[in-house]
A and B are shown apart, each in its own frame.
Chain A
Amino acid sequence: MSKIPLQFRHNGRDVAIFVDGGTNLLVALRELIGDMTPKFGCGQGGCGTCSVLVDGELHLSCLTLAETVAGRSVETLDGMKQGPSLHPLQRAFADNFAAQCGYCTPGMLMAAKALLDRNPSPSRDEVIEAISGNICRCTGYEPIINAILAAASGRVSA
């Protein structure tokens, strides 16, 4: 079966790859582009660790047919840091011990970014709602919620 050419913007950079029919965006990002920040968790839409932004909207890359992002902009955790500096959300996660094993962290950070991009000063309930599609099994949700609230209010270390 022939490969399908696919072009899109990946963290602000144009990329061109060839995918097999039916390839999901997560596989395209990890195996064809080499961006290992989105993780494979459940493959069913239940865990959220593969979350990326497609044209600024939170999507699950494992449930996104790669071809459907042709010509669109895909942001992953890899594009979050600004040069050598971490993004305020990343610093807040470190400050607040919001990552233990870290497997859910890429998805948590993208879900948090999707929230703060649209709502820079969310309430605690809005934060809980924003990460409701992301499962954490070891850190616990409280530090993660606190980190997102800290980032929103600018309470982060330099």
Chain B
Amino acid sequence: MAVTVKTFASASEAAGVLSSDRSARYLGGGTLVMRALNEGDVSISTVVRASDQALTRIDASGPRITLGAGVTFARVLAERDLAFLHTPARSIGGPAVRNMGTVGGNLFAPSPYGDFTVALLALDATVAVAGGFGSRDIPIEEFLQARERQAGTLVLSVSCTRPANSDAFRYRKIARIKPKGGSVITLAAHLPISGGRIAGARIALGSMAPTQIRARAAERALEGRSLDAATIAAAASAATEGTSPSDNALGSAWYRREIVGVHLRRLLSGQE
């Protein structure tokens, strides 16, 4: 079925149409929306695009970085100042998918995809969205919890604070096929250290619930402690708390629960 394609020069015009038309979907890199159209998704009758330059802007010079929603993973990888995001960006797709897929689109990618969002959740990113109400900033966790209702909003950008050093932010994606494959589970950890102790730990998990979630019990086990073997063991044993993984072709819910603690322990101990 043919759809109507509407292209706007400004993001706010595109956002206006998205919020007023329930059958409209925003087309970013195409890896989600074109796939849905190829599969004959009749719920989409309008495709909205915006050629707004602001959507592809990268601001990576300061301590707080901002990525336009239309920034591709290939561009993240080409940016030396975004080195802390290179591992998650590289874990997505093959080169063609990284040339197309965008940071904003990844926020909507259902499990077993959406790995970059796991990294952003651990980094406590802020999502700037525009809707019929104007634009506002939403904490990424809140955005993800209401993701089913976000189809009518246009993501403008995501921003987060640069981790203090390469040890403070860690990422690990478990896939059956290497170097490319859908996620069995994905883990990211932000571990700011203050006076030798962890202050403000954030652990994010992908494919352990319908959306990317935080492992709050594991975070509590880390908070205020030094990253020693006992602390790591306590965090690893708390990793499944609050999770609700499901079965799919890449792994069963049981298997995901079995391995999440193992991989969290390896991530926190700096093992390969």
Q: Which of B18-35 contact A (CB under 8 A)?
A: 27, 29-31, 34-35
Complex CA–CA separation, A53 to B99 (angstroms)? 11
Complex CA–CA separation, A143 to B74 (angstroms)? 27
Asked if B155 lies at the interface with its beta carbon under 8 angstroms from chain A, I say: no
A44 nearest in chain B by CB position: B35
A22/B3 in contact, CB under 8 A: yes
Cross-interface CB contact of A62 among B3, B7, B38, cutoff 8 Å:
B38
B97/A45 in contact, CB under 8 A: yes
Cross-interface CB contact of A1 among B2, B49, B93, cutoff 8 Å:
B2
B5/A59 in contact, CB under 8 A: no
- SS class of chain B's interface: helix, strand, loop or mixed? mixed
- A11-39 to B contact mask, C-beta < 8 Å, 1/0: 00000000011111000000000000000
- A39-53 to B contact mask, C-beta < 8 Å, 1/0: 000011100100100
B47/A22 in contact, CB under 8 A: yes
Known: A1-B2, A1-B4, A60-B100. A22 touches B37 (CB 8 A): yes
Instruction: Quote the shortest CB–CB distance from B120 to chain A (angstroms).
Output: 21
Cross-interface CB contact of B30 among A57, A63, A115, cutoff 8 Å:
A63
Instruction: Quote the shortest CB–CB distance from B14 to chain A (angstroms).
Output: 14
Q: Which of B193-242 contact A (CB under 8 A)?
A: none
Cross-interface CB contact of B2 among A22, A111, A130, A133, cutoff 8 Å:
A22
A132/B94 in contact, CB under 8 A: yes
A129/B2 in contact, CB under 8 A: no
Interface size, chain B (Cβ < 8 Å): 27
- SS class of chain A's interface: helix, strand, loop or mixed? mixed
B93/A133 in contact, CB under 8 A: yes
Asked if B95 lies at the interface with its beta carbon under 8 angstroms from chain A, I say: yes
A132/B35 in contact, CB under 8 A: no
B93 nearest in chain A by CB position: A133
A59/B99 in contact, CB under 8 A: yes
A134 nearest in chain B by CB position: B94
Chain A: interface residue count, which band? 20 to 34
Cross-interface CB contact of B47 among A21, A45, A64, cutoff 8 Å:
A21
Asked if A147 lies at the interface with its beta carbon under 8 angstroms from chain B, I say: no
B38 nearest in chain A by CB position: A43
B179 nearest in chain A by CB position: A132
Instruction: Quote the shortest CB–CB distance from B70 to chain A (angstroms).
Output: 12
Q: Enumerate chain A residues within 8 angstroms of B3, measured Cβ to Cβ.
A: 21-22
Known: A43-B35, A133-B97. A21 touches B180 (CB 8 A): no
Cross-interface CB contact of B179 among A1, A51, A128, cutoff 8 Å:
A128
Cross-interface CB contact of B5 among A4, A45, A60, A62, cutoff 8 Å:
A4
Q: Enumerate chain B residues within 8 angstroms of A58, measured Cβ to Cβ.
A: 95-96, 99
Complex CA–CA separation, A141 to B179 (angstroms)? 13
B39/A43 in contact, CB under 8 A: yes
Complex CA–CA separation, A4 to B5 (angstroms)? 10
Complex CA–CA separation, A22 to B1 (angstroms)? 8
Known: A43-B35, A128-B179, A133-B180. A114 touches B100 (CB 8 A): no
A21/B4 in contact, CB under 8 A: yes
B95/A111 in contact, CB under 8 A: yes
Q: Chain A: residues with CB nearer than 8 A to chain B?
A: 1, 4, 20-24, 43-45, 48, 51, 57-60, 62-65, 67-68, 111, 114-115, 128-134
Q: Chain B: residues with CB nearer than 8 A to chain A?
A: 1-5, 7, 27, 29-31, 34-35, 37-39, 47, 49, 74, 93-97, 99-100, 179-180
Known pairs A58-B99, A62-B34; list 6 more (Cβ under 8 Å).
A22-B3, A22-B5, A43-B35, A65-B34, A132-B94, A132-B179
Give me 24 A-to-B residue pairs in the complex whose CB atoms sit less than 8 angstroms apart, sorted by A's number.
A21-B3, A22-B3, A24-B34, A43-B39, A48-B94, A51-B96, A57-B74, A58-B95, A58-B96, A60-B100, A63-B29, A63-B31, A63-B35, A64-B34, A64-B100, A65-B47, A67-B5, A111-B94, A111-B95, A111-B96, A115-B95, A129-B95, A132-B95, A133-B180
> When A and B form their complex, which 7 residue pairs have the shortest distance between CB atoms, in order from nearest?
A133-B94, A22-B3, A43-B38, A20-B2, A132-B180, A63-B34, A132-B94
